[in-house]
Structure 1
Amino acid sequence: MATYSYALFAHILGVTGLFIAMSLQLASMIGILRSRTVEQVRVWCGMHTVLLRIFALSFVLTLGAGMHMTFTTWGWSTAWINASLAGLLILAGLGPLINTRRLKILHREALALPEGPVPTSLRRRIQDPILWSSVLGMNAMAVGSIYLMVLKPGLIATWLVMVGSVLLGMSAGCILTLKKRSTMTEVVQPAEA
C-alpha cells in the first residue's frame, strides 16, 4: 500500500505539471492573440520551448505512476482508467503534431518579419482555427479526465464525458477564431475600399 501512495503522489504531481503547462500555453496563446506588434508575438511564442520540457516531464511522471497504479491496484477493466489513458496518449500525440508544429511555424514567421504592427498574414496564422480547436479541445479533455478520476463513472458516462468535453473545447476554439476573423475582416475591408 505504501508504493500505491507514492505512485498516487507522483501521478498527482505529473497531472499538476500537465495542467500548469497547458495553462501557460493557453495564456501565451491569448497573449499572442492580443499582440499588437511582431515583437510581442515573438516574446509570447518564445514560451513554448520551455513548455515542451514541462509537458514531457509531466507526461512521463503521469503515465509511469498511472501505469503502476493500474497494474498493482485498479486493473484494466475500469472504464475511466482506459478513457483517461486514451486521453493522455492523445494529448501526447496530437500536441506535437498539431500545436507544436503550428506554433513553431508561427514563431519562425514572426522572427522573419520586420518589427512593427502584426501584418494580416501573421494575424491569420495566429487565428488558426485548427490550432485553437486543438488547444482548447485538449484542455477540455484534460478537465474531463479529472472529472473521471474523481467520480469514476461507468463505461457509457465515461465516454460521454470524454467525447463531450473534447467537442465542447473544439467548438469554443472554432467560435473564438471565427469571431476574431470576422472582426478582422470588418476592420480590413473599409480600409481597402
Structure 2
Amino acid sequence: MSFYPILVFVHVTSAITLSAGNLLSLFGLFALRRAQRVEQVRAILGLLALSEPISAIAVVLTPVAGIAMTVMSWGWRNGWINVALGSFVLLLSMGVITGTRRGAIARLVKEMPDGPLPQSVEQRIHDPLLGTAVYMIVALLLGIVFLMTTKPVLEGALIAIVVSVVLGAAASLPLWRGRTGEEAGSPKRSSSDV
C-alpha cells in the first residue's frame, strides 16, 4: 500500500473536521446573537472553546496533507490547487478575526456577574465584522470543497472562489445594515441577526 491513500484519508478527514468546527462556529454566532444573559454567553463560548483544539489540528493537517499530495502526485501546475491554497490562507485570516473577537467577548464576560447582558457585550456580539468573518469562512470552505471535488482549470477555480466570497459577503450584508445609527446605542435585534 502506498502512502498516498493515507494522505487522502488524512486530508479528507481533517477537511470534514474543519468544516464541522466552522459550522459549530456559525451556530455559535446565531446562539450568541440570541443570548439575553451573561451566563448564556459564557456557556456558548465555553462550548465553542471545546472544539478549538480539534479544529486547530484540522487547520494544520488539511493543508499539510494537501501539499504532500500535490508534491507526490498532482504537481503545482494545476491551477485549482494554487487557488485552493490561497483561499485557505484567506480562510485562516478570517479565523484570526473570529478568534480575536470571540476571545475579547469571553474576557469581557468572564468576571461579570450573572444577569442581563450589558450594552458593551451586546455591541461586541453584534459586531458585523465578527459575523462577516464567520460567514466568509463557511463560504470559503464551500468554495474550497468545490475545487477539491471538481478540480477545475485556473479560470474556473478563480471564478468559484470569487462566487464563494461574493456569497459570503452577501450573506453578511444584513449585519452591516443600519450600523451607523446603532453605534451610539444598543443594536436592534431582528430576524437578520440570526
Q: What is the TM-score with the length of structure 2 in the denominator? A: 0.86
1:99, 1:135 within 8 Å by CA — same for their partners in 2? yes
1:144 maps to what in 2? 143
1:45 maps to what in 2? 45
Query: Do residues 8 (structure 1) and 8 (structure 2) align?
Result: yes
2:99 maps to what in 1? 100
Q: Deviations over 1:6-40 (max 9, x none)?
A: 11111001101101110111111111111111110
Give the number of equivalent residue pairs: 187
Written as runs of structure 1 = structure 2, the 5 A alignment for 1:72-91 is 72-91=72-91
Q: Aligned residues: percent identity?
A: 32
The 3 A distance-change label for structure 1 pair 111 and 43 is: same
Write the distance in 2 (CA, Å) between the matches of 1:60 and 1:123.
Answer: 33
Bigger share in helix: 1
Structure 1 position 46, deviation (Å):
1.4
Structure 1 position 179, deviation (Å):
7.1
Write the distance in 2 (CA, Å) between the matches of 1:25 and 1:67.
Answer: 26
Structure 1 position 175, deviation (Å):
1.3
Which letter does structure 2 place at the counterpart of 1:51? S
3-state SS of 2:29 partner: helix
Structure 1 position 170, deviation (Å):
2.5
Query: Do residues 162 (structure 1) and 161 (structure 2) align?
Result: yes
* Structure 1: unaligned runs, 5 residues or longer: 189-193
Structure 1 segments, 4+ long, off by >3 Å, are: 176-188
Q: Deviations over 1:27-62 (max 9, x none)?
A: 111111111111101111112322321221102221
* Structure 2: unaligned runs, 5 residues or longer: 190-194
Q: Pairwise CA RMSD of aligned residues?
A: 2.4
Write the distance in 2 (CA, Å) between the matches of 1:181 and 1:110.
Answer: 25
Which letter does structure 1 place at the counterpart of 2:98? N
Quick check: 125-134 or 86-95, which moved more? 86-95
1:67 maps to what in 2? 67
